[in-house]
Every structure is written in structure tokens, then in C-alpha cells.
Structure 1
Amino acid sequence: MSLASPYQFDHRGRTAESSRERHVRDLIEAVLFTAPGERVMRPDFGSGVAQLVFAPNSPELAGATQMLVQGALAQFLGDVVTVREVRVEARDETLRVTVAYSLRGDDQVQVASFSRGGAP
């Protein structure tokens, strides 16, 4: 078991825990939607993807965003996950990022989708 992220309390008033799989998914979400400079003690942490909701949509932007996400995940979570695929969709005011990954030491591929902006 791992600590729940973000930090929270469970129904007993104790520190909440989550499964390893859920913890890693939460870490991926934190990397994706944290803007560099947002964390005082780790100013380089994050990818800044959430800011791209307002950028003009184009195939070039989608490709650049995929590389940005893959690079950020490799930098901050490379010892925890192997990224298999990243898909980025920007529609209107909603940005959806889908990440296919496997936990280190496990070949089982997991897929998680994250969205920011308008309706999920």
C-alpha cells in the first residue's frame, strides 16, 4: 500500500492509503497537470500540459504535446513506469491525455485518461 495522493484522511481519521496502481495513476496525473514553477521545492516538476488547452489546435501541437508528456513522465516517473503510448486530444476547451503504461517489473499495460478544461 502507498499513501493516497493528494494527501488525505480516511473515514477513520488516519492517513489514507491507496493501491500501488492507484498511487502511480495519481502520480502521472500530478506530472501532467502541474505547471513547472508551481512547486516551490521542485520548480522543474511538471509538464505544463494544462496550459495547452488555450493554444491553437493543430497536428503539430498534438505531436509536440505527446513528446512533452513522454519526456516529463520519463524524467519524473521513469523509475516507476514504462510509458508505452501517449495520445493527446484538444477539443474546444477540453484537453484529454491518454497514457498507456506499465509498472516497472510488470508487463501488464494499463491505460489512464485525464482531462482538464470543460466537460470530461
Structure 2
Amino acid sequence: MSSPTSSQLKRYERLGQGLGQPIVPDDAGRLPLVAGPEKVRQAIFTILDTEPGERVMRADFGCGLRRFLMAPNNPATRAGIEREIAQSLARWEPRVQVIAVRVSPTDERATVLIEIHYAHVLDGRQDVLVYPFYLEQA
């Protein structure tokens, strides 16, 4: 794998940097740091994992996927999940342009796979994030 060029590093800096997730110290006691496309990817995970009302100072932040818990794994539920994700990412993640959100059933009736295809607004670089979502608690 080749190392990033100077211009790529500058673009990555504009994508942001900060604490990585999960926030767990390594063996030396340092907290994980991430930058660039990985920081954006983790921000998308944060949006998906956060329910509106969880954050005191930003009560409307998040995606609201938990409202689909215990919903049937049918086309209407999957379409609702797709719509909710597309709207939340458009609102909360300005560093990406969502190309497509696909929610597909799996062999387990209570599990769907969420595929988010997006492009970085900064340079057009495309990426895919796959997120399993469980409609029922195990």
C-alpha cells in the first residue's frame, strides 16, 4: 500500500480528526485517534447508533433506528429504515453525499443488512459502509 501524498493528507485534514471509537485506551494508556475517511466513517456509525433525545445538548441528533425494533422484516419496514437513514445522513453528515441506502433481509428473519453507498463531498471518493441491524433483541 502506498503512502498518501501531501495533497491527500491536506484533504484528509479537512475531513476531520479526533478520538476513534471505541474510546478504549491501548496498552500504553493512549486513546485511539483517527482522521480523514475513517473519521467520517465513524461519524456515520455514531449517527446510526444514536437515538434522538439521547444527547442533552443536541436532542434531535441521531437516526432513530430503534423505532424499528420488533417491526416485521418486510419491505415496508426496510423502506422505512432506508428513508430514515438517508434523511439523517443528509441532515447530520455534510462531508458525504449519500448515493444509495439498501436494506436487505438476511437468512435470520430478525436481521437486516444496511448498505450505505456514499461519496466524500471533498474529493468524490466513494465508499460503502455495511451495518447489521437487529429487529429483535437476542
Matched length? 117
Q: Work out which of the residue numbers 126, 130, 135 in structure 2 matches 1:109.
A: 126
Residue 99 in 1 paired to residue 108 in 2?
no
Q: 1:54 is paired with a residue of what secondary structure? A: coil
Separation in structure 2 between the aligned mates of residue 2 and residue 104 of structure 1, nearest angstrom: 19
Separation in structure 2 between the aligned mates of residue 95 and residue 44 of structure 1, nearest angstrom: 25
CA contact (8 A) 1:95 1:116 kept: yes
What's the CA shift for 1:6? 4.0
TM-score with structure 1 setting the length: 0.82
Separation in structure 1 between the aligned mates of residue 49 and residue 26 of structure 2, nearest angstrom: 24
In structure 1, runs of 5+ residues without a counterpart are none
RMSD between aligned residues: 2.0
CA contact (8 A) 2:73 2:110 kept: no
Q: 1:67 is paired with a residue of what secondary structure? A: helix
Paired position in structure 2 for 1:41? 57
Separation in structure 2 between the aligned mates of residue 94 and residue 13 of structure 1, nearest angstrom: 36
Larger radius of gyration: 2
Alignment map for 1:1-120 (pairs within 5 Å): 1-77=17-93, 79-91=94-106, 92-117=109-134
Separation in structure 1 between the aligned mates of residue 119 and residue 18 of structure 2, nearest angstrom: 17
TM-score with structure 2 setting the length: 0.73
Q: 2:21 is paired with a residue of what secondary structure? A: coil
In structure 2, runs of 5+ residues without a counterpart are 1-16
What's the CA shift for 1:90? 4.2
